């Protein structure tokens, strides 16, 4: 049973972001925008733009960057309940915009996201654009590297393809083009996962490392560092340490997840801001 549109007390109204209707490549989507400075495209994990996703976006915004948070699935701002979240997940798995199963091809939505990155760079300036994907959208930050404006890709627990733990959701040709660009422009891909994550596996990070070589910079956090009491979708459906900067993050000094968050934000700020003379 799907959630009703009514506001749950644990929902986030996203009132401090500006909702914009943006049409690119013939498709119109709502994108929540906030902040000043160079742009970062933040792509939500399953089951959508949750309060924890919005919290992370605010941290990025408060670091002096402009956040573009596109609505890709789910009810925007909804607290991740188990049953409603599972319905969102099922719909996304059969959507023509996403390739949830089978390695060697990219999701069609990546074309729209690359166009969003180009628009964001035009609007915000700076050296370029950051792209951060999570879970279902994790690999999109890599395929977005085919857009020249994208300079700082971050893959948080990339889970696609769901049926191949060591597979990559990108075509061989696109992967070769990304690797060539990383070398040519002296760029790196940051990636984060928990030990024991059943969806973003050790085999998947090994496949990225084999494909990207030293341009791939992985970070693996201990499973014991994960928030032990995440929202119901993550405790009941995901069922393992998974969401590094959102549901499983512990926002306290000395916590590995808080350190990972700070490292990611520092990477984005350093890569996107012009160097002062």
By DSSP bridging, strand 66-70 and strand 129-134 are unpaired
Convert the pLDDT of each residue in 215-266 to its tens digit.
999 999 999 999 999 999 999 999 999 999 999 999 999 999 999 999 999 9
The span from the CA of 200 to the CA of 197, in Å, is: 6
* Cα distances (angstroms) measured from residue 151 to each of 53, 196, 206, 229, 231: 22, 30, 23, 34, 32
Q: Is the pLDDT of residue 181 over 90?
A: yes
Q: Is the pLDDT of residue 1 over 60?
A: no
pLDDT band with cut points at 50, 70 and 90 for residue 4? very low
Give yes or no for a contact between 129 and 39, defined as CB atoms under 8 angstroms apart. Answer: yes
Q: Is the pLDDT of residue 3 over 50?
A: no
Alpha-carbon torsion 19, 192, 168, 213, what sign?
Answer: positive
By DSSP bridging, strand 39-43 and strand 66-70 are parallel
Q: What's the predicted TM-score (pTM) here?
A: 0.95
Convert the pLDDT of each residue in 100-120 to its tens digit.
998 888 999 999 999 999 999
Going by C-alpha positions, the residue among 171, 122, 109 that lies closest to residue 148 is 122
């Amino acid at each position: 049973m799907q959630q009703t549109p009514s506001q749950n007390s644990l929902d986030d109204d996203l009132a401090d972001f500006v909702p914009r209707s943006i049409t690119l490549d013939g498709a119109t989507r709502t994108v929540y925008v906030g902040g000043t400075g160079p742009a970062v495209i933040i792509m939500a994990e399953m089951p959508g733009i949750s309060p924890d996703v919005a919290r992370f976006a605010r941290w990025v915004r408060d670091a002096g960057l402009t956040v573009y948070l596109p609505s890709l699935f789910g009810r925007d701002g909804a607290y991740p309940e188990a049953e409603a979240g599972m319905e969102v997940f099922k719909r996304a798995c059969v959507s023509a915009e996403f390739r949830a199963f089978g390695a060697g091809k990219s999701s069609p939505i990546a074309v729209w996201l690359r166009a969003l990155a180009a628009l964001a760079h035009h609007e915000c300036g700076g050296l370029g654009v950051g792209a951060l994907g999570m879970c279902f959208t994790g690999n999109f930050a890599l395929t977005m590297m085919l857009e020249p404006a994208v300079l700082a890709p971050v893959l948080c627990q990339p889970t696609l393809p769901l049926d191949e733990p060591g597979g990559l959701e990108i075509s061989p040709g696109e992967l070769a083009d990304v690797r060539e660009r990383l070398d040519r422009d002296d760029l790196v891909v940051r990636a984060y996962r928990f030990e024991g994550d059943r969806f973003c596996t050790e085999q998947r990070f090994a496949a990225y490392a084999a494909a990207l070589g030293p341009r791939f910079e992985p970070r693996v956090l201990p499973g014991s560092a994960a928030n032990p009491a995440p929202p119901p979708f993550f405790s009941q459906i995901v069922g393992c340490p998974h969401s590094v900067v959102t549901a499983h993050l512990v926002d306290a000094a000395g916590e590995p997840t808080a350190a990972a968050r700070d490292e990611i934000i520092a990477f984005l700020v350093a890569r996107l801001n012009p160097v002062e003379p």
